[in-house]
Structure 1
Amino acid sequence: MLKKTSFPIAKIHVPVKRIKTLDQEKVLEIAESILENGQTTPIRVRKDGERFILIEGFHRLEALRSLGEESIVGYLVGARLH
């Protein structure tokens, strides 16, 4: 079972192909929701040396970043073996 953990936003790397999918309007909506209700859905990251690679939750990450937050709640998952 995955355990919720707090991750420093500055140490989360977003893959380039994910950055291209950024929808600023969606980030704004999520930021407003976070202000009202807090972060309700954790992101998912995997460890890569000293940093973390974002797997899921790009818009949540950007919403919290836009609000000036320094950490985000998420799950640390293992890399999938193919």
Structure 2
Amino acid sequence: MMKRQTIAIADFYVPVRRQTLESHKVAALAESIIRKGRQAPVLVRPDGKPFVLVEGLHRLEACKALGEAPIAAYFVQVRQR
């Protein structure tokens, strides 16, 4: 079972391979967050601080753009290669 927690945006680390950002997606998500609120938490794996982002780069960036400080995240176990 995944554990949900609220994490400060400053405590996220985005691996280089996750940095394919599309600004139109960020803008659309930010608009959706304004209208409906945050629907889905991002996924992170614990690695001390910062927490490593596994999924949700556009959601993270949309929250940053809206000035939200802590956001909801699920901790997941990821097999490292």
Same fold (TM over 0.5): yes
Alignment correspondent of 2:34:
35
Distance (Å, rounded) in 2 between the aligned partners of 1:33 and 1:77: 25
Percent of residue pairs bearing the same amino acid type? 47
Is 1:65 the counterpart of 2:64? The answer is yes
Q: Which moved more, 1:9-18 or 1:53-62?
A: 9-18
Would you say the 8 A contact 2:3–2:76 is kept in 1?
no
User: Root-mean-square deviation (CA), in Å?
Assistant: 1.3
Shift of 1:47: 1.1
Structure 2 CA distance for partners of 1:81 and 1:24, relative to 1, 3 Å:
closer
Aligned pairs, number: 81
Report the 3-state secondary structure (helix = DSSP H, G, I; strand = E; otherwise coil) of the residue aligned with 1:73. Answer: strand
TM-score after normalising by structure 1: 0.90
Other-structure match for 1:3: 3
Residue 51 of structure 1: how far off its partner (Å): 1.3
TM-score w.r.t. structure 2 length?
Answer: 0.91
Q: Which runs of 5+ in 2 are unaligned?
A: none
Give the distance between the partners of 2:71 and 2:45, measured in 1 at CA. Answer: 14
* Equivalent residue, structure 1, for 2:21: 22
Which structure 1 residue ranges, 4+ long, deviate > 2 Å from structure 2? none
Alpha-carbon shift at residue 5 of structure 1 (Å): 1.3
Structure 1 stretches lacking a partner, 5+ long? none
Contact 2:2 2:75 in 1 (8 A): yes
